[in-house]
Amino acid sequence: MVSKPLTVTNLRHTLNGSQGSLNWNTVLNADNYEVSDGSGLSQTTTDNSWPLENLVETVTYKVRASNVCGFGEWGFRTVTVDNLPGCMSVQASINDCKVRLRWAAPIKNGSAISSYKI
């Protein structure tokens, strides 16, 4: 008798700049693995690995095994990109119902800064 898969364990990653892979232990009775990066979209693979490409920020991935009986619990792994810009200090001022934000550009750590999220 087949039962739903157990939780994915031993999630680990390798990373070289913004590329790499996410890997995990094979789960007994799993037909597929669902991989999600927290964006609301999930993708399915039959392998116990997932390519990491063009990472620009820290991402928490979650992976769960599935079969005809259902889904196992999620396993989690946070991947931190080494070349993210450093921290920065932001100053805000209000004048005539307008907010003005000012900051000094952070250390680039080898990559050009193409945008800021506020």
pLDDT category of residue 9 using cuts at 50, 70 and 90: very high
For 8, the 3-state DSSP assignment is coil
Domain with 66, as residue range(s), is 12-79
> What is the domain count for the chain?
1
What integer best gives the mean pLDDT of the chain? 85
8 A C-beta contact, residue 77 and residue 14: no
Residue 106 lies in a domain: no
Strands 75-79 and 59-67: antiparallel
Residue 24 lies in a domain: yes
Maximum pairwise Cα distance, the chain: 71
Locate tokens 């100053």: which residue? 91
In tens, the pLDDT along 35-91 reads 999 888 899 999 999 999 888 778 899 999 999 999 999 999 998 876 555 556 777
Residue 117 lies in a domain: no
Residue 85 lies in a domain: no
Residue 2 lies in a domain: no
Read off the pTM.
Answer: 0.68
CATH code of the domain containing 38:
2.60.40.10
